[in-house]
A and B are shown apart, each in its own frame.
Chain A
Amino acid sequence: MLINKVQIKNYKSLDDVTIINPSPFSVFFGTNAAGKSNLFEALELTSFVFRKPSEALKFFGGFKELFTFQKLGAEEKEISVSVEVPNGKMNFKVLDENKSVITGFADSKGELKDLFGETFSRIFLGNQKINKEIFKDDKKLISNGSNLVKVLSRLLKDEVISEEIIEWLQFLIPELKSLEIKQNELTGEDYLLVWEENSQEPFSGNLVSDGTTNSIALLASLYQTDTPQFLLIEEPENGLNPKVIREFVHLCREISEKKNHNIWLATHSQTLVSEIKPEEAILIYKESGFTKAKQFFDLNLYNLKMDEAWLSNVLGGGIPW
């Protein structure tokens, strides 16, 4: 699922950011407060506008909270996003009066629907502030992962997916044997049990480590649909061992290719960045208070790894001070 171009104007710190021909598996990295989350949030807004244009704004706090504050004095104030795919294009504006207006739309092959329709997900595990989805059903993981059991319950009923998820977990987490979803007889709610080797009894969800829970949630997000999905994951490294982070990068790349997913990660992790190729790297940095994005299609690193290039400032804009 290819994206030709994304351009975001006047959304928080992104006064004018363009991303051209991003790899379906892309990794956004940079210093704290560079604007990675703002960029992902603008894409989430795009999905809300795509799905419910008249209501989208109210989930994001309204125009005043979203418009680039350095430009509040400007005469014409509007946030705009445009997305180009091989066979379609979508432009929309968010206006001062708390309205969003789609100004151009063509999607002859349903590519925009695949990107920004129901399968769009923005995940930031453990972050309670960012969830904007109302429905916590079993179709997809919501931002903070709080409907993990529901999604997992559905996925584990599929024999092939269940086997793949369990195999990955057995590989990533020593001692883990299997997962089981049970139903509470009193409340009717599902809950997660984790079986470990050398243990006669399973552990219930609240006794499982954060790292294990996050690994399960990340796998659930990657396997939650077989149809092409646009999956944004922020700080997937949280709670994960460096070796698990490395394997997670390879899995994202593999699934992205196999299932035609767009999987974009935002990270601070040196380990994660060390595993990516130049064409998958998008550096996010600030210049004069505004977020900028830099891509690296033809970069020869002369045997440096991407994390070395990032932290030694070969890429520019990468050092925090």
Chain B
Amino acid sequence: MKKVGFIGEGESEVVLLTSSSFSELLVEYDLESVGEIDAMGRGNLENYSEKLDSKLKILVERKAEKIFIISDLEQEPCINHYKQKITNTYNSSIPQVEIISVKAIEAWILADSVTMEKLLRGRFYFDQPESTINLPISELQNIFLYRTGRGLGSSKPRIMKKFIKNGFNLDKAAEHTNCDSAKYFVRKLKEVSEA
């Protein structure tokens, strides 16, 4: 079983990474998590860059062969530029880092049509979950307000937990035709497993 570690930009990412459904996915790929650490970014790379190096070193010490940093692109136009910005904040002698950039993690929820349909109690398909005009969390809240008359509240980790409880997981998002970041994440997990 190969060891992997994770650093999520905020609490929502850690809620997903510590969920039993995500753990099952890792077991499926014969991977063992050595830690799911909150970067405590609060929506901003500058907030967590100072401590990123320490957190990466802790996961290296735990013998993680690959460390995934899940980070929100939000309004950043260029993935490569953003990845470079993250890379510049830590000691570059940690080669096993893989950055997963997603517009915002709630885009993966928008991509999971099955769970969305379950909670909306009706048909649902969001064609471009990673190319929303507003942030994905706002899209999600607006959809629920419009379709059910009830919003989802403002707590992002609570929203994530609600969707996980109803079946959401990374692999469901990766099944969506236009959810490249989830597909990329799943592909990278498989690659570690098969390496």
Q: Which residues of A contact B (CB under 8 A)?
A: 300-304, 308, 311-314, 316, 319, 321
Contacts and interface: CB of A to CB of B under 8 A. Distances in A.
Contacts of A303: 54
B57 A319 contact: no
B18 A313 contact: yes
Given A302-B53, A303-B54, A312 B157 contact: no
Contacts of B161: 321
A180 to B, nearest CB: 47
Contacts of B157: 321
Nearest to A318: B38
Nearest to A317: B18
Given A311-B40, A312-B38, A321-B161, A301 B14 contact: no
- Interface SS, A side: loop
B58 interface: yes
B129 interface: no
Given A308-B51, A321-B157, A314 B58 contact: yes
Nearest to B15: A321
A319 B14 contact: yes
Contacts of A300: 57-58, 61
Given A302-B57, A312-B55, A314-B35, 4 more contacts: A304-B51, A308-B51, A313-B37, A319-B14
Contacts of B54: 301-304
Contacts of A313: 14, 18, 35-38
A281 to B, nearest CB: 15
Given A321-B157, A321-B158, A302 B58 contact: yes
Contacts of B51: 304, 308, 312
Interface in B1-60: 11, 14-15, 18, 35-40, 51, 53-55, 57-58
Contacts of A302: 53-55, 57-58
Contacts of A319: 11, 14-15, 18, 38
A201 to B, nearest CB: 48
Contacts of B55: 302, 304, 312, 314
Given A304-B54, A319-B14, A311 B158 contact: no
Nearest to A319: B14
A319 B38 CA distance: 10
A311 B58 CA distance: 15
Interface of B: 11, 14-15, 18, 35-40, 51, 53-55, 57-58, 61, 157-158, 161
A108 B140 CA distance: 67
Contacts of B11: 319, 321
A319 B10 CA distance: 12
Nearest to B34: A316
A314 B61 contact: no
A314 B51 CA distance: 12
Contacts of B14: 313, 319
Most chain B beta-carbon contacts within 10 A, residue among A313, A316, A319 = A313
B35 to A, nearest CB: 7
Contacts of A312: 37-40, 51, 55
A297 to B, nearest CB: 15
A216 to B, nearest CB: 36
B18 to A, nearest CB: 7
B16 to A, nearest CB: 11
A115 B54 CA distance: 39
Contacts of B57: 300, 302
Contacts of B35: 313-314, 316
A302 B36 CA distance: 17
A301 B38 CA distance: 14
Contacts of B40: 308, 311-312
Contacts of B36: 313
A161 B73 CA distance: 59
19 contacts: A300-B57, A301-B58, A302-B53, A302-B54, A302-B55, A304-B54, A312-B38, A312-B51, A312-B55, A313-B14, A313-B18, A313-B35, A313-B37, A314-B35, A314-B55, A319-B15, A319-B18, A319-B38, A321-B161
Nearest to A309: B58
Contacts of A308: 40, 51
A155 B109 CA distance: 62
A316 B23 CA distance: 14
